[in-house]
Structure 1
Amino acid sequence: MAYTWMLRPDYRTPPAPAGEAVPAGPWRHADNGQVMNGVYERFLPGRRIEVVAIWYGYVLSRCDGPRMPRFTSPLVSAWNPVLAQGLTAGPKAPSPYRDERWSDRWIAEALLYGRKPFGVFTLPVEEAMRWFTRSGGTALVYRAQHTGEGLVRVVAGLSEPYGRLFDVDALIADYRRALPGDLGEEEAEALAAHRTSSPALGYVLRDDAEGSFRRAPLSVRGLTLGYPPHETAARILAEKGARIGV
């Protein structure tokens, strides 16, 4: 049985290059042969879903994880981990990243425009100062450090509580369904405990904020970064050597 790829429109999708300077990658639409560009998903047996993020025919990420159909959010996207980390199809493969600071600039913009709830980025001093000005009047809270190399490192997050930013109940239900037994309950409890906190309060303003973030449960870290929960659940299952819940 063939499982059809479905395009999920997402305004984060980097535009395809103009002209013919960059050769198109191998991924094409089966029906018309056009180059694929965007986030595509297909349902697999066993309540699984496979999601690929493709730029101009090149697969920048691919994940097979449990379906988590209840939860959606404009702050969450398959592009968030790709573009924030500068993932590519290979060391020499074409990519949308124009320079070494591209992903940092993308994170900074994504935070301003409500495409990510939390992020860390490093920019040249002048660019960072402009970002600080633009962030005024938003719900962002940040901490900044001048590195002494003409760069400023910024940790920023939204001040609204998780329970207002996200449908936490839907996400908890999805994790309980996706993860077996105690694994699902552990992540559900962690998410419920964060309901009244916020990305800013938990992982920007507190002492040892970044250390606290590294120690947070995977479900919380994934949500805070705006990563798709099926990817986070797949990682949890892989680390525990477990199977999708039944």
Structure 2
Amino acid sequence: MYNFEFVKPSTLDEAVKALANEDAQALAGGQTLIPTMKQRLNQPGTLVSLLGIADLVGVSAEGGTLTIKGATNHATVMKEAASSFPALAYLASRIGDPAVRNRGTIGGSLANNDPSACYPAAAMACQATIVTNTREIAADDYFQGMFATALDEGEIVTAVRFPIPEAACYIKFEQPASRFPLTGVFVAKYGDRVGVGVTGASNDGVFRWKEAEEALAGTFSADAISGLSVPSDDMISDLHGSAEYRAHLTKVLTGRAVAGCQ
């Protein structure tokens, strides 16, 4: 590790002001940031903690929308979303282990946009809105590739708004050591559409499998995607699984998630 300044503001305005300083970086749960700092892959001069800002914590459901504040940890999502959006609560319950779930936050996950993070698949499938201190960003516009988002320098994820689906299911094939999904699929069924968000599989990060969405909108059954295939050209290939394997998993897990919705 190395020397850095640590700032813990009590309001969002104070956090924004602190982040305006050169080499300052927001710290939410730190589940990704701290390990990268230990490896010196990331060396901010100042860490600005968001965990002391009461306005950034909480879960509420109203008018068919679930709103989760940016500094809300996974364990809280798991508990507070259980009645209104059980599939998202289940997703949160499967992230890491209890220590990770009690420290990591939804805003930190979305801001980092790890290619194997779970929340981005739900955000894409549900066409969620990512709210920041300056604007609102549709999920399709927010995620811009592996570890890349539409966030500007110093911009903070303050909340995420999920339209609550009629039915939804998240299925992931875990890498046993890390518990990250080798591939994960979130399926969300609405009255006029179906969303399919895929994480852990693509070199371009999270994506929507639009061909499956169109097929499932016509007939919401695993049989509807039986004739489809997922191209492996842009899939991740590593020691855990080949590109072709991840493409195959995407289809298999989509079918299982559809079955889990019923």
Which of the five TM-score ranges fits, normalised by the shorter chain? Answer: under 0.3
Normalised by the size of structure 1, how large is the TM-score?
A: 0.27
Normalised by the size of structure 2, how large is the TM-score?
A: 0.26
Q: Which has the higher contact order (CA 8 A, sep 6+)?
A: 1
